[in-house]
Amino acid sequence: MSEANTILVVDDDQSIVDLLRDFLEYENFHVLTACDTAQAWAVFQQNSVHCMVLDIMMPGQNGFELCRRIRAESNVPILFLSARSDDVDKIRGLTLGGDDYIVKSASPGEIIARIKAVLRRSGSQQQRDERILDFGRIKLNLSAREVTVDGKNAALTPKEYELLRLFVEHPRHVFTYEQLLEKFWEGVGDKHTIRVHLGRLREKIESDPNHPQYLVNVWGVGYRFEGG
């Protein structure tokens, strides 16, 4: 049996922590917990974490601030868990580098499914691919899951990497908003979700994100990758 993935659950509501821990352990995950961001940062620094479920509103520093701190040094998948369903928090969380946004009214089963989906997308359960995809300024080393732009490493989140990989493996193919939502967000979300992630990805790979040469809009339909 392969080593269990470790999930860090961060929430100041102990009842939610206990519920998620029970469901995750039933699914054979190894679970670590924290009740605030200070404790979560210490646990994260001391353990190998494969995915984080992160509450937003907690005493002291909020989940957004912890996400920003983690993204400065790690691409570990982060799923925000919030009692609020408004688009402002959702867009902010995705912009900061979150891989998914889950409202607390979701069932434990749905949360587990979303965790498994983001782990699949992050490549933690995928076989190695030895190819290197070269598009001039942009290169993808698939075995190392590394992206370089103009010879410098581009620090992509797991979801940004998987989005870029999908596009570069299918140059000039138009992916609709609906196709992208279904593949990367289990069909949950809207065009804003995609635009936020693609906008952040463009900032990391395009010379001028406002006039992209690689990730090009197909107005009213979706996006395609111009391989050059």
To the nearest whole percent, how much of the chain has pLDDT over 90?
A: 49
pLDDT, position 215: 94
For residues 197 and 177, give the distance between their C-alpha atoms in angstroms, rounded to a whole number.
Answer: 12
E strand residue ranges, the chain = 6-10, 30-34, 51-55, 78-82, 100-103, 132-135, 138-141, 146-149, 152-153, 175-176, 215-218, 222-225
| Number of neighbouring beta carbons within 10 Å of residue 50 | 21
pLDDT, position 228: 57
Q: Residues 27-48: what's their mean pLDDT?
A: 92
Q: To which residue do tokens 């969380």 refer?
A: 93
CATH of 132-225, one of 3.40.50.12140, 3.30.2290.10, 1.10.10.10, 3.30.43.10: 1.10.10.10
Laid out side by side, the sheet with 215-218 consists of: 175-176, 222-225, 215-218
Q: Residues 173-179: what's their mean pLDDT?
A: 90
pLDDT band at 130 (very low <50, low <70, confident <90, very high): low
Is the pLDDT confidence value at 40 over 80? yes
- Tell me the β-bridge partners of 152: 149
For residues 95 and 26, give the distance between their C-alpha atoms in angstroms, rounded to a whole number.
Answer: 32
CATH 1.10.10.10 in the chain is located at: 132-225
For residues 201 and 203, give the distance between their C-alpha atoms in angstroms, rounded to a whole number.
Answer: 5
Is the pLDDT confidence value at 15 over 80? yes
pTM of the model: 0.60
Tell me the pLDDT tens digit for each residue of 135-155. 889 998 877 788 999 999 998
CATH 3.40.50.2300 in the chain is located at: 6-127
pLDDT band at 2 (very low <50, low <70, confident <90, very high): very low
What is the four-CA torsion angle of 147, 221, 227, 137, rounded to 10 degrees? -40
The domain 6-127: what is its CATH number? 3.40.50.2300
* Tokens at 224, concatenated: 């395609």
For residues 196 and 99, give the distance between their C-alpha atoms in angstroms, rounded to a whole number.
Answer: 11
